[in-house]
Structure 1
Amino acid sequence: MSGFNRVASVPMQRTLFESISVSQRKLAEVQQQMATGKKAPDFASLGIETMRNLSARTLLARQEAHAAVGNRIGTTLSIMDTQMDGIVESLGKLRDGLLSAVGTGRADGLQEVVEEAFQRFRTGLNSDEAGQFLFAGSQTTTAPFAPPTLASCAGVPTANAFRNDAVMAEARVADGLDVTYGATASEMGSKLFEAFRTLAEAGTIGLTPTAAQTSAMSQAIGQINDGLTTLRAVHAENGRRQAQVEGLTTRAAERTLIVERLVSRNEDADLAEVASQLVQRQTTLEASYTVFSRLSKLSLLDYMR
């Protein structure tokens, strides 16, 4: 009689084993989706969406790179803007002090104002970002403005006071669009340096300036006016570049969000739906185990008596 039992149960067990194996595989797939949050373990498993998603990810990487470059340039231009503001402000105060001294014939504290303005001018031109001099052109490891003190400006030709070159930085901030940006110390400060040289050659200005010093101050006022006109033009161009880069960076960030949503729609699993499937497949697998357990206890002998 044992033969009847084997003939009846082996095919049934094989069928149940196959069913349980399928249920286990489907449950494992859902568990992986729940753990990773992804529809598939790799791009190949996405089927017809594979090429579309690869293209989308390439575009996403490019947009993220553009946004990162734009943010970096925006930071650099913002620092440049701050330094230019500081120079304009300090030179404006110096000009006012010189005008007052020429008009009244008294120069109370003027020498200190001149020294302070020079140091602010020098600090601004030699400002850096992460150790790279901002206004040095491509010579970013060398301070672009050479004279260390006001007195050292006397007799120095303008060309010798600056060590920058005229090479501007360039970066790609959008597909097919490279932006040239920056300014150089000589572009910003050549005419202003001439004013400091004039004052340095006039000597230390005391409480009552000499006739020669008064003449030098008048000359310096004209040089400052010319220099500020040039600096404000450079400042305005820097602001225009800043606005352009900001706009391009914003658009790159917006495009990044759009592409991210596209990638997410094709790759990311709906966790609420996955959770529901997980419960269903666990229930199905448990039911398969129960049926297998019950059928394993049955025998044809039980029905042939």
Structure 2
Amino acid sequence: MRISTQAANQAALSDLMRAQREAYDAREQLASGKKAPDLKGYANSAETIIAARAAQARSESFVGANERVLNRLEVQDLAYQELTTAATDLRTALTTNDGSFMMDKVQEVFDRASAALNMRFNGSFLFGGRRTDAVPFTANSIADLQAAVPDVSATFQNAADRQTTKIEETITIDLNSTASEVGTELMASIERIADFNAGPNGPFDGQITDAQQTFLETELANIINAFDTINTAMAENGARQKQIEGSITGHEKRSDYLQIMVADIEDADMAEAATRFQQAQTAVQVSAQTFSRLSQISLLNYL
């Protein structure tokens, strides 16, 4: 009688290879923490993973960009504080009876407001509108204001349009008012005071006269309007800061959610993988022993 072990050997070898493969897969999951080494291993879920990763990347990009915008808005707030302080100081100066003191204060206000209007952030002018590479307010002195033709508006060289930025996929906001929007009224008031000082009822160099007092009382209303314009712009800047902070929080939450969603699809159950690895190792040992015994079977053992 002829005894054949070929079929048994093939079956044992197949069991051994399958056990080795299962042990390898379980070991890879334990090492990487992932269910599969690449997207092919996730079958129909691969498309969901790709879409979720892309959305997460966009959210993280918005977080980074919005944090930079928020830093800019904080610098803008400092500029607005300088402008409101300058306007307040000018209003206070016009209530004094000392003309010389008042004109010294007017010069100080001009210098302070000029610096604020030309403030920069990362090399770009804050109040330049879409034109961020050119000085928005060009007057270097009060005399430049007086010489401007047709009026002080000629000293503002900012773009007419405000600079904008996208904070959400469908939301775009203005970054800031322009120099001409917030500074024209204040500089026009300074120019009128300088012109009056140089006119027939000037100069302001001692006790304020009745004619000078009448002019200053009228000009006070203009300065209050200038202050209100600046204050409104500062409030808008504060509202933008709140909006940006909310946007950052929203994008961070969205990114976290997408990360969890992808992890639920990709991440392996480590306890389960460890159990499968142990079971697969045992199966490899048993299969190897079975294959070894079958390989040693010979007809001579039965003769």
**Normalised-by-shorter TM-score class:** 0.7 to 0.9
Counterpart selection for 1:63 from 46, 59, 64: 59
In the TM superposition, 1:166-245 aligns within 5 A as 166-201=160-195, 202=197, 208=206, 221-245=220-244
Q: Which amino acid aligns with 1:37?
A: G
Alpha-carbon RMSD across the aligned residues, in angstroms, is 3.2
Which ranges of structure 1 fall in alignment gaps of 5 or more residues? none
Q: Percent identity?
A: 28
Deviates more, 1:33-42 or 1:225-234: 33-42
Tell me if the contact between 1:125 and 1:185 (Cα under 8 Å) persists in the aligned partners.
yes
> What is the CA distance between 1:291 and its match in structure 2?
4.0
Match of 2:42 in 1: 46
Count how many residue pairs are aligned between Structure 1 and Structure 2: 296
Tell me if the contact between 1:69 and 1:171 (Cα under 8 Å) persists in the aligned partners.
no
Normalising by the residue count of structure 1, what TM-score does the alignment of the two structures yield?
A: 0.81
Q: Which amino acid aligns with 1:21?
A: M
Tell me if the contact between 1:198 and 1:216 (Cα under 8 Å) persists in the aligned partners.
no
Match of 1:82 in 2: 78
Normalising by the residue count of structure 2, what TM-score does the alignment of the two structures yield?
A: 0.81
> What is the CA distance between 1:247 and its match in structure 2?
2.3
> What is the CA distance between 1:234 and its match in structure 2?
1.6
Question: How far does the alpha carbon of each residue in 1:4-45 deviate from its partner, in whole angstroms, 9 at most, with x for none?
Answer: 6xx43x544433332222222222222332333221222232
1:227 is paired with a residue of what secondary structure? Answer: helix
Match of 2:128 in 1: 136
Question: How far does the alpha carbon of each residue in 1:57-106 deviate from its partner, in whole angstroms, 9 at most, with x for none?
Answer: 3433343344344333333323222211122123323432342x33xx36
CA distance in 2, matches of 1:148, 1:160: 13
CA 161–215 in structure 1, closer or farther in 2 if over 3 Å, else same: farther
> What is the CA distance between 1:121 and its match in structure 2?
1.3
Which ranges of structure 2 fall in alignment gaps of 5 or more residues? none
Q: Which amino acid aligns with 1:60?
A: Q
CA 291–230 in structure 1, closer or farther in 2 if over 3 Å, else same: same
Deviates more, 1:158-167 or 1:25-34: 25-34
CA 95–276 in structure 1, closer or farther in 2 if over 3 Å, else same: farther
Pair 1:17-2:13 in alignment: yes
> What is the CA distance between 1:160 and its match in structure 2?
1.4
Match of 1:264 in 2: 263
Q: Which amino acid aligns with 1:174?
A: E
CA 124–41 in structure 1, closer or farther in 2 if over 3 Å, else same: same
Q: Which has the higher contact order (CA 8 A, sep 6+)?
A: 2
Deviates more, 1:68-77 or 1:138-147: 68-77
